Amino acid sequence: MFSAIGASRQGPAVDRACPAAWLDEVVDAGKLKVLFLCTGNSCRSQMAEGFTRALKGELIEAHSAGIAPGKLDPRAVRAMAEEGIDISSQLSKHLDELAGVDFDYVVTVCGHAHENCPVFPGRARIVHVPFDDPPALAAGEADDQQALQHYRRVRDEIGAFVLRLPDSLG
């Protein structure tokens, strides 16, 4: 699993400090509620939600949303299926659709979402963990297999990040 993990990847940029004691308190109270936020909620945030549900579902209640949602990217679905994770039933949704959820963490996975991230009420901590945009990278490729290589690389980087959750949040 994750054969092409980006070993040189740095840890997340934490916007608001999260003391370890606070994280322990949240985990002891039940599952962490984590939102993965991206612009379109079509690829990176969907992959992060899928990985988190599959690998960390006992610890984390994962959600994803976008600030300008599009449609679920079929190549993201294919790349995740290669790892045995089915995200085909996940839907792209606007952040407003999750307004009633009191998140512990909001993880922005792209620069645009990070720069335009709204203020979240309550105790939500914002963590920025940028990942490359597979559709943008794949746009110039000659065939589908070459395009999928970008999705696989980013998928593996997201998977490596999720495997380190919740420690990688603070």
- Known catalytic residues are 38, 110, 117
CB 106 within 8 A of CB 126: yes
In 16-166, alpha helices (H) = 20-29, 44-56, 74-82, 111-115, 134-138, 144-163
* Cα–Cα distance for residue pair 118/110, rounded to 1 Å: 14
CA distances from 57 to 40, 54, 113 (A): 24, 6, 24
